[in-house]
Amino acid sequence: MTPTLLLAPPPNPDMETINPRVQFLWIGRAVVVAAVLGAIAAAVDRFALSIGSVAVGTLLLVVALAGTVHAVLRFRRWRFEIQDDALYLVRGVITQVDTSVPYVRVQHTDTQRGPIERLVGLSSVVVYTAGTRGADIRIPGLRPQRATELREQLRELAAESEGADAV
């Protein structure tokens, strides 16, 4: 596997990026996952099979490191664009996903701010469609006023292009 496969350049440099602070959020999440896994491994080491504290430490470190790299790469890939008739999103590290959400299909839009997101001063916009697979599409890592702005913009675009039956 060549590194370029993971570091594939974003398709269009003009597309909007998300806020870099979102990396802290994702790295934090990876560290929590690593800590939980480490705790489980430590418990197994203590009470069942002896794995060795070195192995437990390595596991913790590897998971945290992998999570950090993933978070950075994920941030670098994340792009979105308000196009003529659809919202276009490009994201994903291991599996890259490109999604088009036509405005005609937007049922409603939300801005969401979880407690940890608030801590970093970020917000997400969630776009809902009637689809079964891509039913809710989240744009993370937005500054709160950009999130509100985007939500309003999407709402207007959806209203303008409204068809007879969104289903």
Partner 1 sequence: MKRLHPISAVGNVLNRALSIGAFGFFAGMILSGPLDLVPVVATFVLAPLGALIGAAYGVARYYRFTYELSEGRLSVDSGVFDRQEREIPLSRIQNVDIERGPLQRVLGLAVVKFETAGGSATEATLNAVTVDEARDLQSAVARYRQREPEAEPTEAAPDSDESDRPATAGDDTETATERTIERQIEQPTERRLYELSTADLLTLALVSFRPAAPAVVLFSVPFAQEYALRLLSESVATLGGPATVSLELLPTYSTPELLLVGIVAVAQFVLAAWLLSAAFTITEYYGFQIDYVGDDLRYRRGLIQEYSGSIPLEKIQTVTVRENVLMRQFGYAALAVETAGYAPGSGSQDASNTAIPLDDRETVLALAEALTDAETPEMEALPKRSRRRYAVRYSLVALAITAVLGIADWVTVPIPGSESVAVSIPFWYAPLALLPVAVVAGHLTWTHRGFAVLDHLFATRSGVLVQATRFVPYYRVQTVIDTRNVFQRRLSLASVTADTASTASLLGGDATAYDVDDATARELHETLRSRLMADLRARERGDRGHALAAYIDERADSPPDETSAKRQPDDPGSRAETGEDSPFEE
Chain residues in the site for partner 1 (CB under 8 A) = 1, 5-6, 8, 49-50, 85-86, 92, 94-102, 104-105, 129-134, 137, 163-165, 167
Going by C-beta distance under 8 Å and a sequence separation of 6 or more, which residues neighbour residue 56? Answer: 38, 41, 42, 45
Give the nearer residue to partner 1 in terms of CB position, either 81 or 148.
81
Give the nearer residue to partner 1 in terms of CB position, either 98 or 152.
98
Q: Which residues pair with 106 in a beta bridge?
A: 129
Least distance CB 166 / partner 1 (angstroms): 9
Which residue in the block uniquely carries the two structure tokens 């500054």? Answer: 143
Provide the token pair at 115: 């407690």
Contact at 8 Å (CB) between 80 and 88?
A: yes
What's the CA gap between 161 and 159, in Å, rounded? Answer: 6
Give the nearer residue to partner 1 in terms of CB position, either 78 or 122.
78
Least distance CB 115 / partner 1 (angstroms): 29
Least distance CB 79 / partner 1 (angstroms): 14
Stated length of the chain:
167
Q: Which residues pair with 17 in a beta bridge?
A: 79
Give the nearer residue to partner 1 in terms of CB position, either 110 or 119.
110
Instruction: Tell me 121's DSSP state.
Output: T
Least distance CB 107 / partner 1 (angstroms): 9
